Amino acid sequence: MTHRVRTCLAAVLAVVCLSTSSLAWGPQGHRLVGMVASTYLTGTARQNVSWLLGTQTLADVATWADEYLEGNNQTGPWHYVNIPPFAKAYNRDRDCPRQPGVSAGGRGDQWRDCVVDRIQYNQERLADPSLDRADRAVALKFLVHFVGDLHQPFHALGVERGGNGIEVVAFGTADCSPGGMTSRPCNLHSVWDSTMIARRKLGDLQYLTVLQQLIRHKRLDREPVDSPAAWALESHALAKKGLVPEYGEIDEAYYAEHIRVVDRRLALGGLRLAALLNRSLTTPPPKE
């Protein structure tokens, strides 16, 4: 193979591989949640994060859980919770499936397979000083990602797999394949994961500044921190407001109405992640 052919093949593979995930805010959304959280950590929490992650930041590890999915399919349901559209509350028995092959209340049924349970599970592991440092670092990486995911409204709505099954026309195009290589229909879920965020055309630092202004102007740091079940219900309500029919149009009017919601959820995700880490990491890490 010539060098040019090889370079070209590598580029094609990169695009194909990067286009397969539909389980998360896009990378920028996740990084922003990590960046916001980093600015609200207590000194002790910050020391613990450095001890666990070394030179990496919360933003650096924010998309690790999506990469881990490859070859670890059983972690797929940890990224969302499908609350039925008519529901008025989160109901764990209805909305959070038991692990495969485990009977209700039996051994092995302590933790279930949805994002609400997996946030609590990883929070307990992060806070557990009897666990190995490496295991607590993994728990931290999952947490950064899952708190972000749960603030993406469609990660909590059980309609067409969180909107993944609702094809849409986004800003005049029905084909949302990255780079326009293979054809890939636009869907409502990915509009919320990434298309609206990308349309803002802001770099991470510029976007972080926007979110920090929003936090100040709207006093978001005084909003209740609450529990993952409450965040899920907020997301569920916001996603219902963002529903469109199959082959619906995502146009400038839709964007103008919902981009404020995207920004607010990114900011709240970061604030609540910080609060959760500050509560879990209250003793200084061991001296090296």
Quote the CA–CA distance of 256 and 276 in Å, as a whole number.
31
CA atoms within a 13 Å half-sphere pointing along the CA-CB vector of 157: 26
The residue whose Cβ lies closest to ligand ADE is: 162
Residue 264 binding: pick among ligand ADE, Zn ion, none (C-beta 5-8 Å cut-off by kind): none
Q: Which listed range, 17-25, 32-40, 174-182, 219-227, lies at the site for Zn ion (CB under 5 A)?
A: 17-25
Nearer to ligand ADE, 154 or 254 (CB): 154
Q: Which residues bind ligand ADE (CB under 6 A)?
A: 23, 80, 82, 154-155, 157, 161-162, 164
C-alpha–C-alpha distance, residues 118 and 120, integer Å: 5
Given the structure tokens 């890939």, which residue do they identify? 184
Q: Which does 193 bind (CB under 5 to 8 A by kind): ligand ADE, Zn ion, none?
A: Zn ion
Size of site (CB under 5 A) for Zn ion: 5
Minimum gap (Å) between residue 151 Cβ and ligand ADE: 12
CB of 94 to ligand ADE, least distance (A): 14
- Contact residues for 15 (Cβ-Cβ < 8 A; gap 6+): 178, 179, 181
Q: Which is nearer to ligand ADE, 28 or 82 (CB)?
A: 82
**Smallest distance, ligand ADE to C-beta of residue 164, A:** 6
Is residue 156 within the footprint of Zn ion (CB under 5 A)?
no
Three-class DSSP labels, 55-115: CCCHHHHCCHHHHHHCCCHHHHHHHCCCECCCCCCCCHHHHCCCCCCCCCCCCCCCCCCCH
Q: How far is the CB of 232 from ligand ADE (least distance, A)?
A: 10
Output the CA–CA distances (angstroms, integers) from residue 60 to 46, 124, 287, in the order listed: 15, 22, 24
Of positions 114, 149, 158, 280, contacts Zn ion by CB under 5 A:
149
With contacts defined by CB under 5 A, name the span among 113-121, 190-198, 234-242, 249-257 that binds Zn ion: 190-198
Q: Does 113 bind Zn ion (CB under 5 A)?
A: no
Find the angle CA(24)-CA(30)-CA(35) to the nearest 5 degrees. Answer: 170
Residue 71: how many CB atoms within 10 A of its CB? Answer: 7
Q: b/e map of 109-143 (b: 16 or more CB within 10 Å)?
A: eebbbbbbbbbbbbbebbbeeeeeeeebbbbbbbb
Our finding on whether 79 is near Zn ion (CB under 5 A) is yes
Among the listed residues 76, 81, 242, the one whose alpha carbon sits nearest the alpha carbon of residue 157:
81
Provide, rounded to whole angstroms, the least separation between the CB of residue 288 and Zn ion.
32
User: Residue 80 or residue 254: which is nearer to ligand ADE going by CB?
Assistant: 80
* Stretch touching Zn ion by CB under 5 A, among 54-62, 74-82, 131-139, 237-245: 74-82
Taking CB atoms, the residue at the shortest distance from Zn ion is 24
Question: What residues line the site for Zn ion (CB under 5 A)?
Answer: 23-24, 79, 149, 193
